[in-house]
Structure 1
């Protein structure tokens, strides 16, 4: 006689608490990494800010590298739901409406992502110099950004784009250029967004 199969019990309340804890940890991590950088942000600092134990962070997100990885991934899309950027409504909107509307949506999306992620990118760049896992993460992030750039340009322009167009736009809209223009040269976020719109318009016109 077969033994009865037991089913694991999942408490909705416990799952909600775990999700809230993860959200609190990632919020604290984003603020601290952006403010203090990689080296000066410790796991205890994040735990204190999130009002959890260090052990809870390790159990939820792993070590410091995993924490920055998850913090950056969520900052790119704007929340911590496991939905890729390409499947988000804001990304799909790049292919909707006339050219002017699509170009404006593209410039706004790029700008919003930089506003949310620039501090984390600077922490990643700092840490990549001494932490091989972060150097690998930085490479992976840039590969993903180039892929998203190509997909986004095809939606906005409504036509195929060649590698040269993708490479130039990808390079011009990288986090480093955003930091130079907005954080170091004093451009406003609105000025940066208008400049990105100009780049897209030039591509529309075949410049």
Structure 2
């Protein structure tokens, strides 16, 4: 039996695995530097040195610094477990209060696990049009999710005087990275406490 095809197949898998590991190492190094010294002050050369790879390797993996930052932002959404939120939203379609709690729980996970990434994307967006567009898209996607949920509720669920657009605005004013940071960093709240308060405040402000 000729083992050559099998060896080539496993060599291919090994190279693919090594490439993924390299991408992860670069991303971890970039996140560490972006957070510690700021996005604008961090160069691709520094990221490469921190990750222990060459500068061309960074460009080959992510294109440029903006591409690397966008990849970090995409990973942030995954880290917050979007499928978990969607599963709860579907399972609690008849319970608006529980749906609000599911969305608040997602935001808590997102800010707890990747708040630093969100902050650095917002910083970078001031000078990078590509990242400004990515930041707006991320905010817009959140708004669209809430609009979809709120629109599914029967008449009479929202507080008197609130339409769906206004309800989305109220949600955005309560559940955002700045409020989360103020409460957890400046005021010493635990993430659990923030999530409970958000759930209660959303129900109080949005539901009749």
TM-score by structure 2 length? 0.76
SS at match of 1:114: helix
Trace 1:98-117 onto structure 2 (pairs within 5 A). Answer: 99=95, 102-117=99-114
Relative to structure 1, the CA distance from residue 182 to residue 149 in structure 2 (aligned partners, 3 Å threshold; closer, same or farther) is farther
Equivalent residue number for residue 5 of structure 1: none
CA distance in structure 1 between the aligned counterparts of 2:77 and 2:130, rounded to whole angstroms: 19
CA apart distance, 1:113: 0.5
CA apart distance, 1:197: 1.1
* Kept in 1: contact 2:104–2:175 (CA 8 A): no
CA apart distance, 1:111: 0.1
CA distance in structure 2 between the aligned counterparts of 1:164 and 1:92, rounded to whole angstroms: 25
Relative to structure 1, the CA distance from residue 130 to residue 158 in structure 2 (aligned partners, 3 Å threshold; closer, same or farther) is closer
In structure 2, the gaps of 5 or more residues are 1-8, 155-162
Equivalent residue number for residue 190 of structure 1: 192
Trace 1:45-194 onto structure 2 (pairs within 5 A). Answer: 45-78=46-79, 85=82, 88-97=83-92, 99=95, 102-151=99-148, 153-154=149-150, 159=153, 162-194=164-196
CA distance in structure 2 between the aligned counterparts of 1:116 and 1:136, rounded to whole angstroms: 22
* Kept in 2: contact 1:47–1:54 (CA 8 A): yes
Matched pairs, number = 189
Asked which structure has the greater CA Rg, the reply is: 2
SS at match of 1:22: helix
In structure 1, the gaps of 5 or more residues are 1-8
Runs of 4+ in 1 over 3 A off after TM superposition: 97-105
CA apart distance, 1:56: 1.0
CA distance in structure 2 between the aligned counterparts of 1:135 and 1:101, rounded to whole angstroms: 33
Relative to structure 1, the CA distance from residue 36 to residue 191 in structure 2 (aligned partners, 3 Å threshold; closer, same or farther) is farther
* Kept in 2: contact 1:69–1:137 (CA 8 A): yes
SS at match of 1:11: helix
TM-score by structure 1 length? 0.76
